[in-house]
Amino acid sequence: MNAISQLYRRFNNLRGRRVFILPTRFGVLYGGFLILILLAAINYNNSLGHILCFLLASMGQLTIHYTYRNLAKLELVSASSEPCFLGEVIPFTLRFDNPTQYDCYHLNIASKQSNDRSWNPLKNVTGFRYQPHQTRDVLPANQISSHRITVASTQRGLQAIGQIRLSTQFPVGLFDTWTYFTPDCVAVVYPAPAGHLPLPTTIDDGQQDIGAQQQGNDDFAGLQAYREGESAHAIAWKALARDDILRTKQFSSQHSGQIHLSWLATTSLPDTEARLSQLCRWLIDAENQGFEYSLNLPQLDIEKGHGHQHQQRCLTALALYD
């Protein structure tokens, strides 16, 4: 029993993933032309006509294998995403492994776009629910290659990439072959920045003079030993190459002050999404204008700070608010 199941597993490995294949409309047309050729050959008792018809038929048959082979052994290695604001497209990066000896040409990578069903079952399987052909990439033989696809963001929060449909008609376009992947990959969608409320006024706690020197990223102010959590952008690579000590470049910037962005400051807005959008707008403005800012949401407080990482932390908090 064990031997049989092992054999079955080996066969399954050999077969590769589940790949579907159907003739395209040109494949059907090709079949029609073959029938015409056969009729002409029979009618005129034409031997070479028969040969031509049979040759084209077996070439057509062969292209089934060729087309199928494009996808049979492909494997998804990894998928990653970058956050985006609602309304923008989410960039996903998929990495595929083509372990075969053959290059795989003209791969269409599409993600599921809707759940509509059509009365025509053929239409359902040939992927009309997937966004139109996005990329026509080549997967070189024996290599892992990255491919970017974009998916429209639909909702604030976490958005899974969903099902990915890979299809190709190479080499002759008579058959369309496709397969599905469902990568375990989720993107964070920030609320869309919106709202016209003015940025809350700065808090002056008296400890710091306006215009005091603060760490920022405008003007170079010297090097300092690396502390965990500092951005990789700030590392002084040249200095590192010189003496193997990890240091970060320090910049000074003119801070206009601190502001506190609070959930309660947006009570005048009609609903949660609008309030989140307003907060998002403020976060961006505050960062751009060089403020230090803190964020307060119900059940969540983020200490004051600034910089890319801080901004992302705050935006993620907005994205995940429920």
Partner 1 sequence: MPSNTALIWLMASLFLAALPHFYYQPSWVSLLFLLMLVWRGLAIRQHWPLPGRHHRTLSMVQWLIALIALGLMMNSYGNLIGRDAGTALLIVMLGLKVVEIRNHRDYYISCFLGYFLVVTNFLYSQSIPTALLMFIVIILMTSCLISLNDVKQTLSKISQLKLASKLLLQAIPLMILLFVLFPRISGPIWGLPQDAHIAQTGISNTMTLGKISELIQSDAVAFRVKFDGEIPANNALYWRGPVLWQTDGTQWHELTLSQQARHSPPVITASNEAVKYTVTLEPHNAHWLFALDLPNLFSKDLTTRLSHDATLLSDNPVKSRVQYQLSSSTDFVMAADNDPHVKAALVLPNGLHPRTRALAEQWRQKANSAESLIQMALNHFNQAPFYYTLTPPALSGDVVDRFLFESRQGFCEHYAASFTTLMRAAGIPTRIVTGYQGGELNPVDNYWVVRQRDAHAWTEVWLAGRGWLRIDPTAAVSRERIDRGMSDILPRTSLAPFLFTQSDQLIDIWQNIKHNWDAVNNAWNRSILAYGPELQKSFLSALGMADPNWQRMAMALLLAFSVILLVTSALLLIPRRETDPIVATYHRFCRRLAKLGLSSRLSYEGPLDFANRAAKAFPEYQLEISQITALYISLRYDKTMSSLSDFKHAVKCFKPKLK
Residues in contact with partner 1 by the rule CB under 8 A:
14-16, 26, 29-30, 33, 36-37, 39-59, 61-63, 65-66, 68-69, 72, 97, 100-101, 105-106, 136, 138, 169-174
- For the bound state, the minimum distance from the C-beta of residue 54 to partner 1, rounded and expressed in Å, comes to 4
- Give every CB contact of residue 99 below 8 A, 6+ residues apart in sequence: 73, 75, 142
**Alpha-carbon distance 280 to 116, whole Å?**
33
| Residue 106 vs 260, nearer CB to partner 1 | 106
Q: How far is the CB of 253 from partner 1 (least distance, A)?
A: 42
Smallest gap from residue 169 Cβ to partner 1 (A): 6
Question: CB-wise, 101 or 115, nearer to partner 1?
Answer: 101
Local structure of 267: helix, strand or coil = coil
Assigned token pair, 31:
């079949």
**How far apart are CB 66 and partner 1 at their closest, in Å?**
7
CB 108 → partner 1: shortest distance, Å? Answer: 10
3-state helix, strand, coil in the chain (%, to 5): 35, 35, 35
> For residues 16 and 87, which CB has a smaller minimum distance to partner 1 in the complex?
16
Contacts of 72 (CB under 8 A, 6+ apart): 15, 16, 17, 19, 100
Nearer to partner 1, 64 or 235 (CB): 64
Nearest alpha-carbon partner for 57 in 22, 32, 20: 32
Nearer to partner 1, 97 or 285 (CB): 97
Q: How far is the CB of 143 from partner 1 (least distance, A)?
A: 12
Q: Which is nearer to partner 1, 98 or 278 (CB)?
A: 98
Q: Closer CB to partner 1, residue 108 or residue 311? A: 108
Q: Which residue has the tokens 């307060």?
A: 296
- Give the Cα-Cα-Cα angle 89, 194, 151 (nearest 5 degrees): 10
Contact in structure between 307 and 176 (CB atoms under 8 Å): no
Q: How far is the CB of 238 from partner 1 (least distance, A)?
A: 31
Contact partners, residue 218, CB within 8 Å, separation at least 6: 251, 252, 253, 254, 290
Sheet bearing 292-297, strands edge to edge: 258-262, 292-297, 300-305
- Of the pair 85, 181, the CB lying nearest partner 1 is at 181
Rounded to whole angstroms, the maximal C-alpha distance in the chain is 104
- Least separation in angstroms between residue 135's CB and partner 1 is 10
Q: Are 102 and 141 in contact (CB under 8 A)?
A: yes
